[in-house]
């Protein structure tokens, strides 16, 4: 999650590009894998102190060229210094902290990997499987001992000259492949793994609180956690005592309480804003949860005032 600071639009001297300017994006098919490069950009978070806990459905590589930043993966903050990097696979909760007045300078690369349509002969090397190894990446900080920084710098230089060309995309994928061959023993610091059940509940909670749409895409949520929806639904119900859909309804009702208390917006509009499909469904769900209608709740609040 990157934020553009308008006070620092100047180019980064060693890369010759502006902060948060997307240098390239595009798709590349290699054997049985389709790699989507979402973006490659320079990150200089001047003026910002933190990025709150969140997760996403793509891979994100962060490399620090100058200065330092901090990152956590659901636990304590880790320091990342110049010449170090970390990788965030899909579904991994993380947060960042910055020095607002002395920000680090780094590179951020985001990508997705999907199965291609090509039929591979039996016992043939699978590009998809090699790239998908990164989905099991453990939280930690890596020292750049094999030239990843130079590879990324070269990608920036080629992107400036050629834009989103096949050669440039292939070079970016080469950088991704190089990470798959990195030995886990090279980690400088590894985040202590939290209880897996607690971590799962936390990730689902973040996803549901971020989702503002009418229909929760539970299959997308399950995919981001590398689980089938059936397995996720059963595990979540066992751990929390309620279904994912019930929890989503509860979150939306809680949002509506604040709007009923603090605004004079029509109740039908509140149902729409909070992502509930209709006024009748909202009223029925509200009464089931709180024992009264939204109007009765609002009127009671006004009587107290």
Residue 4 confidence class, pLDDT cut points 50, 70, 90: very low
E-assigned strand segments in the chain: 26-30, 33-43, 50-54, 59-66, 68-72, 78-81, 84-88, 94-97, 105-115, 140-143, 187-190
What confidence tens digit (pLDDT) does each residue in 175-219 have? 999 888 875 545 555 544 444 677 788 888 888 887 665 566 788
Q: Quote the pLDDT of residue 93.
A: 86
The rounded mean pLDDT for the chain is 82
Decide if 70 contacts 58 (C-beta within 8 A): no
What distance in Å separates the CA atoms of residue 87 and residue 109, rounded to the nearest whole number?
Answer: 10
What DSSP character marks residue 134? Answer: G
What distance in Å separates the CA atoms of residue 84 and residue 66, rounded to the nearest whole number?
Answer: 10
What distance in Å separates the CA atoms of residue 56 and residue 59, rounded to the nearest whole number?
Answer: 8
Residue 11 has pLDDT above 60, yes or no: no
Q: Quote the pLDDT of residue 6.
A: 33
Which listed CATH number (3.30.420.40, 3.40.50.360, 2.60.120.10, 3.40.50.300) goes with 26-190?
A: 2.60.120.10
Beta bridge partners of 26: 37
Residue 10 confidence class, pLDDT cut points 50, 70, 90: very low
Residue 271, token pair as written in the block: 């149902």
What confidence tens digit (pLDDT) does each residue in 229-246 have? 888 888 888 888 889 888
Q: Which residue has the higher pLDDT, 207 or 20?
A: 207
Question: What are the residue ranges of CATH 2.60.120.10 in the chain?
Answer: 26-190
What distance in Å separates the CA atoms of residue 120 and residue 302, rounded to the nearest whole number?
Answer: 67
Residue 34 has pLDDT above 60, yes or no: yes
Q: Quote the pLDDT of residue 209.
A: 80
CA triple 80-84-90, angle to 5 deg: 80
Which of 49-63, 146-160, 175-189, 265-279 is least confident?
175-189
What CATH architecture does domain 197-304 belong to? Orthogonal Bundle (1.10)
Q: Quote the pLDDT of residue 114.
A: 92
Residue 22 has pLDDT above 90, yes or no: no
Q: Quote the pLDDT of residue 105.
A: 92
Decide if 236 contacts 245 (C-beta within 8 A): no
Question: What are the residue ranges of CATH 1.10.10.60 in the chain?
Answer: 197-304
Residue 53 has pLDDT above 60, yes or no: yes
Q: Quote the pLDDT of residue 278.
A: 81
As separate numbers, helices (DSSP H) first and strands (DSSP E) second, the chain gives 10, 11
Q: Which residue has the higher pLDDT, 277 or 278?
A: 278
Q: Quote the pLDDT of residue 123.
A: 61
What confidence tens digit (pLDDT) does each residue in 100-156 have? 888 899 999 999 999 887 776 666 778 898 898 898 888 888 888 778 999 998 998
Please compute, for residue 146, the number of CA atoms within 13 A of its CA located in the half-sphere on the CB side.
14
DSSP notation for 30-77: ETTEEEEEEEEEEE--TT--EEEEE--SSEEEEEEEESEEEEESSSS-
Helices 196-210 and 229-240: angle between axes, nearest 10 degrees: 110
Residue 61 confidence class, pLDDT cut points 50, 70, 90: very high
């Amino acid at each position: 999650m990157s934020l553009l600071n308008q006070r620092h639009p100047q180019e980064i001297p060693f890369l010759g590009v502006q902060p948060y300017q997307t240098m390239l994006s595009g798709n590349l098919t290699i054997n049985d894998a389709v790699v989507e490069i979402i973006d490659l950009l320079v990150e200089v978070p001047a003026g910002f102190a933190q990025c709150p806990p969140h997760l996403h459905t793509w891979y994100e590589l962060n490399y620090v060229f100058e200065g330092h930043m901090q990152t956590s993966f659901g636990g304590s903050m880790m320091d990342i210094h110049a010449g170090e990097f970390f990788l965030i696979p899909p579904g991994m909760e993380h947060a960042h902290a910055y020095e607002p007045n002395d920000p680090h300078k780094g590179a951020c690369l985001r990508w997705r990997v999907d199965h291609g349509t090509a039929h591979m002969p039996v016992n043939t090397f699978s590009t998809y499987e090699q790239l998908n190894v990164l989905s099991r990446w453990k939280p930690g900080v890596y020292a750049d001992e094999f030239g990843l920084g130079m590879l990324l710098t070269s990608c920036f230089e080629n992107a400036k000259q050629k834009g989103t060309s096949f050669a440039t995309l292939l070079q970016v994928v080469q950088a991704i492949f190089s990470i798959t061959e990195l030995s886990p023993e090279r980690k400088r610091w590894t985040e202590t793994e939290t209880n897996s059940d607690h971590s799962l509940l936390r990730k689902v909670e973040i996803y549901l609180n971020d989702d503002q749409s009418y229909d929760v895409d539970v299959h997308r949520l399950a995919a981001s956690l590398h689980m089938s929806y059936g397995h996720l639904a059963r595990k979540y119900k066992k751990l929390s005592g309620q279904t994912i859909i019930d929890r989503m309804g509860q979150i939306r009702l809680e949002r509506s309480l604040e709007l009923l208390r603090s605004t004079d917006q029509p109740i039908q509009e509140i149902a729409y804003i909070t992502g509930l499909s209709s006024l009748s469904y909202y009223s029925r769900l509200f009464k089931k949860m709180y024992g009264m209608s939204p109007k009765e709740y609002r009127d009671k609040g006004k009587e107290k005032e």
